[in-house]
Structure 1
Amino acid sequence: MKKNVKFLLSGFLFGIILSKSEVISWYRIYEMFRFQSFHMYGVIGSAVAVSAILIYFFKKGVLKNYLGHQVQIADKKKNYKAALLGGIVFGLGWALAGACPAPIFVLLGQGILPVLLVIFGALMGTFVYGLVHKKLPH
Structure 2
Amino acid sequence: MTASFKEHVSYGVFGLLMGIVLSYTGFTSFEEVHHMFTLADYRLLAAFAASIGLSMIGFLIIARGRAITRKAFNKGTIPGSVLFGAGWALTGACPSIALVQLGEGKLAAVFTLLGILSGVWAYRRLASSHLQLDTGICGEE
- Coarse TM-score class (shorter-chain normalised): 0.7 to 0.9
* Alpha-carbon displacement from aligned partner over 1:25-78 (angstroms, at most 9, x marks no partner): 11110101111011111111112222222333344347xxxxxxxxx7431245
Cα-Cα RMSD: 2.3
- Aligned residue identity for 2:27: V
- Give the match for residue 36 of structure 1: 40
4+ residue stretches of structure 1 with deviation over 4 A?
none
For residue 58 of structure 2, what is the amino acid of its counterpart? L
1:132 to 114, 126, 129: 126
Per the alignment, in what secondary structure is the counterpart of residue 116 of structure 1?
helix
Is 1:89 the equivalent of 2:83?
A: yes
Alpha-carbon distance in 1 for matches of 2:62, 2:82: 29
Counterpart residue type for residue 107 of structure 1: Q
C-alpha change, 1:88 and 1:7, in structure 2 (3 Å) is: same
- Provide the rounded CA distance (Å) in 2 between the counterparts of 1:74 and 1:131: 29
Paired AA for residue 70 in structure 2: D
- Unaligned 5+ runs, structure 1: 63-71
Tell me which amino acid in the other structure corresponds to 2:12: L
Aligned with residue 75 of structure 1, among 60, 70, 79: 70
What's the % identity of the aligned pairs?
30
- Mapped to 2, the partners of 1:98 and 1:30 lie a distance apart of 7
Other-structure match for 2:137: none
Deviation, 1:132, is 2.3
1:116/1:48 CA distance change after superposition, 3 Å = same
SS in 2 for 1:131: helix
**Which residue in the other structure is 2:115 paired with?**
121
Gaps of 5+ in 2: 135-141
Higher mean Cα deviation, 23-32 or 47-56?
47-56
Letter in 2 for 1:16: I
1:21 to 12, 19, 25: 25
Q: What is the aligned partner in structure 2 of residue 6 from structure 1?
A: 10
Superposition TM-score, scaled by structure 2 size: 0.77
Question: By how many angstroms is 1:116 displaced?
Answer: 0.4
